[in-house]
Structure 1
Amino acid sequence: MSRAPSLREGFTTGSAATAAAVAALRFLLRGERAAEVVVMPPPRAEIQTPLRIPVAACASGPAPDVRDCPACAAILPGSAAHACVIKDGGDDPDATHKAEIRATAILLSGTEAPGDAVLLEASPLPLFLAGGPGIGRVTLPGLPVPVGQPAVNPAPRAQLCAALRDALVSASLPSGVAGLLIVLSVPEGRAIAAHTFNPRLGIVDGISILGTQGTVRPFSHAAWQASIAQGVAVAEATACPGLGMSTGRRSERLLMARYPDWPARAFVQVADFAAFSLQHAGRSSLPLLVWGCFFGKAVKLAQGHASTHARDAVLDMARLADLATACGVAHDGTLRSCVTAAHALELLLAAGAPGRRVVAAVAREAAAAAARFAGRSVRVHIFADDGSELASA
């Protein structure tokens, strides 16, 4: 029997930015045009295996897209170089897959933050970071980066600092150098960000530089859960009137229509992570928790499944059939033999008022299960494929 091929890991935007910065610094100090660089994952990553990252280009001077940035004003000849790394998401590509991640390294003659740069590390050599075109800027509280700063998360910042320190250990700096500035940029960053949750989180003008582990593991649950936690934090920090959790894009759009006065940042797509998202939301100070989904996910939640993924949660059709009988639905066992929730719903709706009572009962049971996960009340909305609301509780 042949073995299934293993899925290929990629590397994060944080690793891409770090590799580009190291390559740019080496070119600036040594004239070394590296084909690849080896960087370590962020210092707190679980696995500390060196990452070999290809470098697409190195050249002198600042990257073309950052020459007008405030932090790059009055660059002296010979004091800057840039490099580019192509982000590789492996077999789990996301919106940033194949994006150009650029870094410009600039030697500074002073120790003051140039332009809008932020200080990453004060010694032994001050290291500064600035976000160029395509790098998002944080505008709302609740994120791990202060408002007004470039959207480069703490783990990639630590990864960048550690890599630059290592690169500087064996380097001979020109006399008069008092600091180092790294300017990150992503030429297509603004367009890419439109396909991410950044606009909803108050991150404007580009993508975020992310990655707590340095690598991208295919179909990473941890990455999605981190996104859920971040969404809850932003909704809480910006005093949203509630949190609307949904299992996908369609159910989210329908939930948004149900709560039209809520801002977009009040809604978080939680996929199949029922227990995780509800527990996380339950610990927040948000005054109202709302869950929106279609019938199949609602039945799984009602039956107490922590995950509503088909792999983890099997629909108990016998239990649904018993509920139908209790609600007065006359059936000859067809509900028990249904393979899908969609077929069961079709039969229930065809039964008229008694079938509607079953759907309402599922909503109540789902709300009760959600409340157990959250530790407090949760309102559940069940939607039909045509966009109508079947029941709420």
Structure 2
Amino acid sequence: MSRLKRSANRGELRTGFTTGACAAAASAAATRALLTQAFDASVTITLPNGDAASFAVEYLPTEIGVLAQVIKDGGDDPDCTHGLAIQSFVQLEDSQADVTIYGGIGVATVTLPGLELPVGQPAINPVPRANIIAMMERERRHSTTPNQGLSVTISVPEGEQAAKQTISERLGLIGGISILGTRGTVKPFSTSAYAASVRQSIEIGTENGLRAFCLTTGGRTEAAAMKIHSTMQPMQFVQAGDFIGVGLRCAKRCKSDSLHLVVMVGKLCKLISGTMMTHVSGRGIDFELLAQRAELCQIPTHIIEQIRCARTGRQVLDLVRDMPEGQGFLTDLCQLAQQHCSDYIKHEIPVEVTLVDFDGPQLANWQPLTEKPFVEELQ
């Protein structure tokens, strides 16, 4: 496994490495072995962020060239690529001083416009591609053949299977995973990586002629959304998770025609306060505000007091779901959330908010074309 620094503080989470960093390390090791016959058990490279990092390396038998692999360690932020073998097969080429990169088995091919790479190219992003070349050139400079042409094929034997756990195919990335990483390291529960994937999904959809998108908060809400918005294409659904605000801003920047949010009650209860980053570690639910909205919707007083003392959005939903006034209250929450979302993007895109139950059915909805609001706004 890659050698990662462990924090002196046991409470801190452990940083991992990107697929791009693992590919660069395997490529450096394979290049060194090919040009110097030094099959070292570890290799130290310079990451895109300038840090040095060491990786354990394994070598696999091959008739020509050198095949090296590094096992990806995601640290304490394991995703579907954690534990995968990232392989680099380096061969000599006749061309002088060039390094040519190919995508092998388990590395996706770009089939739709809108990414940083041209259609038809392997999904090895520009930063890791540059890092792979730089590390191979470093090894070449320290050999006796500094001008030797080289080719490298990056493969991930289990990449196609791992990609089934992602939305890669929806983005036109077919046949495996992408080789990614602008820094080389993976911060545990990285917000930047997730936010980037939300933006990328909307940008690719826009590039492919789509003008409306549906933001969901995960797999269950997406499944519900696909039933509600059954005429929309799969590429129009974006799992924004806690990054609703990122999706809103990107849709505004891409000049989308409309935006649809499908959420469960916990996220909705945060959106009504204008919280566009809804992670559990962030700003909590304002139960006092929920109680005030319940009062405006004529929820019985004893239920209002229970709402005020509630601990979760689900508890609030369970309190009102079966009462006659409950539907109006849930609709009012959708309206308030819709207004905050619309304010967030300066009313440039029509936004619709739909609340779904935990097993999928729609509970309430609000969209700009609704004839009149359910209740007056709080003064």
Q: Does residue 1:261 correspond to 2:231, yes or no?
A: yes
Give, in angstroms, the shift of residue 383 of structure 1.
0.5
Asked if 1 retains the 8 angstrom alpha-carbon contact of 2:26 and 2:68, the reply is yes
Q: What residue is the counterpart of 1:57 in the other structure?
A: 59
Q: Does residue 1:10 correspond to 2:16, yes or no?
A: yes
Give, in angstroms, the shift of residue 313 of structure 1.
2.1
Structure 2 gaps of 5+ residues are 1-7, 367-379
Query: What residue identity is the alignment partner of 1:380?
Result: V
Q: Does residue 1:330 correspond to 2:324, yes or no?
A: no
Asked if 1 retains the 8 angstrom alpha-carbon contact of 2:93 and 2:149, the reply is yes
Question: 2:189 & 2:315 partners in 1: Cα distance?
Answer: 29
Structure 1 gaps of 5+ residues are 63-79, 112-124
Q: Does residue 1:384 correspond to 2:353, yes or no?
A: no
Question: 1:296 & 1:110 partners in 2: Cα distance?
Answer: 59
Task: Provide closer, same or farther for how the CA distance between residues 178 and 311 of structure 1 changes in structure 2, counting only shifts above 3 A.
Answer: closer
Query: What residue identity is the alignment partner of 2:328?
Result: R
Question: 1:160 & 1:132 partners in 2: Cα distance?
Answer: 15
Q: Percent identity?
A: 35
Q: TM-score, normalised by structure 2?
A: 0.89
Task: Provide closer, same or farther for how the CA distance between residues 241 and 262 of structure 1 changes in structure 2, counting only shifts above 3 A.
Answer: farther
State the secondary structure of the residue aligned to 1:321: helix
Give, in angstroms, the shift of residue 58 of structure 1.
5.1
**More deviation in 33-42 or 330-339?**
330-339
Question: 2:86 & 2:135 partners in 1: Cα distance?
Answer: 16
How is 1:310-325 mapped onto 2 (pairs within 5 angstroms)?
310-325=280-295
2:125 corresponds, among 153, 161, 184, to: 153
How is 1:335-346 mapped onto 2 (pairs within 5 angstroms)?
335-346=307-318
Q: What residue is the counterpart of 1:66 in the other structure?
A: none
Question: 2:336 & 2:216 partners in 1: Cα distance?
Answer: 17
Query: What residue identity is the alignment partner of 1:297?
Result: K
1:370 corresponds, among 341, 345, 350, to: 341
Give, in angstroms, the shift of residue 238 of structure 1.
1.0
Please provide the CA RMSD for this pair: 1.7
Question: 1:363 & 1:156 partners in 2: Cα distance?
Answer: 42
2:39 corresponds, among 33, 43, 60, to: 33
Give, in angstroms, the shift of residue 3 of structure 1.
5.4
Query: What residue identity is the alignment partner of 1:127?
Result: V
Deviations 1:314-361 (A, max 9, x none): 111121111111112122222211222112112222321x22111111
Give, in angstroms, the shift of residue 178 of structure 1.
5.9
Asked if 2 retains the 8 angstrom alpha-carbon contact of 1:27 and 1:60, the reply is no
2:210 corresponds, among 224, 230, 240, to: 240
Give, in angstroms, the shift of residue 55 of structure 1.
0.4
Q: What residue is the counterpart of 2:100 in the other structure?
A: 128
Asked if 2 retains the 8 angstrom alpha-carbon contact of 1:59 and 1:83, the reply is no
Question: 1:6 & 1:343 partners in 2: Cα distance?
Answer: 32
Question: 1:311 & 1:11 partners in 2: Cα distance?
Answer: 24
How is 1:1-393 mapped onto 2 (pairs within 5 angstroms)?
4-42=10-48, 45=49, 48-57=50-59, 59-62=61-64, 80-110=65-95, 125-173=97-145, 179-332=149-302, 333-352=305-324, 354-375=325-346, 376=348, 377-393=350-366
**More deviation in 277-286 or 196-205?**
277-286
**More deviation in 178-187 or 154-163?**
178-187
Asked if 1 retains the 8 angstrom alpha-carbon contact of 2:220 and 2:359, the reply is no
